[in-house]
Chains A and B, each alone.
Chain A
Amino acid sequence: MIRRWIRHLLAIMGCAAMLVGFGYGGTIAYLSWREQVSPSTQRILVLQNGQQIPLVQPTSLPRMPVSSAAPEIPSGVTNVLSVTPVPPAPVETSLPPVRIVIPKISVDWPVVLSDNDHMPQFQGVGWLMGSGFPGASGNMVLFGHLGGPYGTFMRLHELQQGDEFSVFTQVGEQRYRVRSTYETTPDDVAALAPTNHASATLITCSGPWNPVAQTNERRLIVLADYLQPLASAQK
């Protein structure tokens, strides 16, 4: 009787182990196949016209400051050897942003990786996952709450063309200059699109409150161009 019971138990355990083995192996194989077809790490922007743009930054391109970052030469000054800004030496690896400082609007907040589903629930600025690195080719997207307990970009609307701000990494400071500002609707994700040059996009809410959508009806976008690391600028 006991022998029979043990035999049954062993058979059941063997079947269970085989089921677990097949289940685990099958799950791994299925997930590998699924990741090949549609990678979970990939993010795709869907524009208002239905166009889809993969959120991939051209980080392999050499880092170059854009032409608008060139210093202005005062009139009457003639003994200038070169007016072309010297591009900073390319950095081997781009580091993530850890802090943003905008002196004009008294912004000095930590920056953390974030996305639409993981918004900072503290006074911190979000760095959109998949967007560019500070100082590297691509569009670095930073966003902050308009107000409330986590408000960081309350005075973003005060920024104007030509204003400068800094984004800090673990090792250095990267400078940006505001190119333009505009307002748009929340579904206009074109502002998140990658760029071929090093740029930054700052985002916060604006416009009246929409109680149905539980958000403001508009978004304030600040576009900025990369200048150069502060160390290079001082040389």
Chain B
Amino acid sequence: MKRFLHSTLIVLGMVLVALLPAIAAAQQSTETVTVQVSGQTPLGTAVIGTIVLQRTCGSSTTSNVTFNGMVNGHPARFTGTVRENWLGNGKEEVEVLSTDLKGLVLGASPLRKILLVQTGANTIAVDGIPVAIDGTLVQPCGGRTSYTVTNVGQGARTIQQLPNTASTQIVDHAQWLMQPYVLSGLFIGAGALLLLASRLLRDRSHGRQGVAAAQEL
């Protein structure tokens, strides 16, 4: 019995030793993921482009990230390195290790952590902000290699026209009104005018009261 157990253990050990390099190789595999992003920030900046993640799979996944796209119609590109930690249940923590994107880096190490949480069938929250995604977020190196991400709540978009590739630059004349600072300026201006009007009314009523009081006297 003892000999049988001994030989079984030896065989199992040999099988494990034979499998270990394969397991290690599988853990060190790579995966390339593309994420098509289109959206508008609360300040009105339009961002559209493709993020390519080149992942090196392992217990924690390190990825080289490149973004190629447009910000407000102008070309934009950034690169960086991130570490992805899958927390389970559709949650992932993304640590930005390095990037040449201005405004994201504050100098601390890790530079910044972003928490992604699946909140519904087609929605995730990025640091608490809901974002639309096509389907569910799959753990790094889990096989899904393509995502589409947009602003949430817009609904499916219909395309009824081919792209307008005319020579002339198309300018939406009402669009400048929707710029946040212009909008803010308009409100401040309107507020100031209302205050001025209320003051004028008060002065006028005070003036009337003064005249009435003088007449009474």
Contact = CB atoms under 8 A, between A and B. Distances in A.
A10 B101 CA distance: 42
B130 A31 contact: yes
A186 B155 contact: no
B81 interface: no
Interface in A74-126: 92-96, 98, 110, 112-122, 124, 126
Interface in B18-41: 31-34, 36-38
Interface string A43-61: 1111000001001000100
A187 B164 CA distance: 11
A234 interface: no
A32 interface: yes
Contacts of B37: 113
Given A112-B75, A153-B165, A215-B166, A36 B159 contact: no
B152 interface: yes
B169 interface: yes
Interface in A142-178: 143-151, 153, 170
A42 B104 CA distance: 29
Interface in B61-110: 66, 68-70, 72-75
B138 interface: no
Interface residues of A, number: 70
A186 B159 CA distance: 11
A1 to B, nearest CB: 31
A185 to B, nearest CB: 8
Interface stretch (B117-125, B189-197, B198-206, B207-215): B117-125
A120 B164 CA distance: 11
Contact of B159 (A39, A44, A113): A44
A66 interface: no
Given A35-B122, A39-B156, A46-B159, A115 B38 contact: yes
Given A31-B123, A41-B134, A205-B164, A170 B157 contact: no
Contact of B132 (A35, A120, A191): A35
Contact of B38 (A113, A124, A219): A113
Interface of A: 27-28, 31-36, 38-46, 52, 55, 59, 92-96, 98, 110, 112-122, 124, 126, 128-130, 133, 143-151, 153, 170, 184, 186-189, 191-192, 203-205, 209, 214-216, 219
Interface of B: 31-34, 36-38, 46, 48-50, 52, 66, 68-70, 72-75, 119-123, 125, 130, 132-134, 145-146, 148-170
21 contacts: A28-B119, A28-B125, A31-B120, A32-B120, A38-B155, A39-B134, A40-B122, A93-B145, A94-B34, A96-B68, A112-B70, A113-B48, A113-B50, A119-B164, A121-B72, A148-B169, A149-B169, A187-B160, A189-B159, A191-B162, A219-B162
